[in-house]
Amino acid sequence: MKHFAVTSDNEFFPAMRFLEKGLRKIKRLQRMVSRRKKGSNRRRKAVRLLANAYERVAINEKT
């Protein structure tokens, strides 16, 4: 699907593929965080990656 919607005055709305991909990534990272030991450096790093993924999706959703 190239365009999500087209209005009668030829205004195009792009398909939101980035949202689907971003949500899949968030899902995977959330599982990663939940499997890490609380307080570990690996968990802290996973939480940071998850926060960045959420931020990217939120920014792209606004535009």
Q: Note whether residue 27 is domain-resident.
A: yes
Q: Note whether residue 36 is domain-resident.
A: yes
DSSP three-state, residue 11: coil
Q: Note whether residue 9 is domain-resident.
A: no
Q: Note whether residue 21 is domain-resident.
A: yes
Domain that holds residue 57: 16-62
Number of separate domains in the chain: 1
Q: Note whether residue 53 is domain-resident.
A: yes
Q: Note whether residue 38 is domain-resident.
A: yes
Four-CA torsion 16, 17, 18, 21, nearest 10 degrees: 140
- pTM exceeding the 0.85 threshold for the entire prediction: no
Predicted confidence at residue 37, as pLDDT, reads: 98
Q: Note whether residue 56 is domain-resident.
A: yes
Span 30-56, pLDDT tens digits:
999 999 999 999 999 999 999 999 998
Span 6-24, pLDDT tens digits:
777 877 766 667 788 899 9
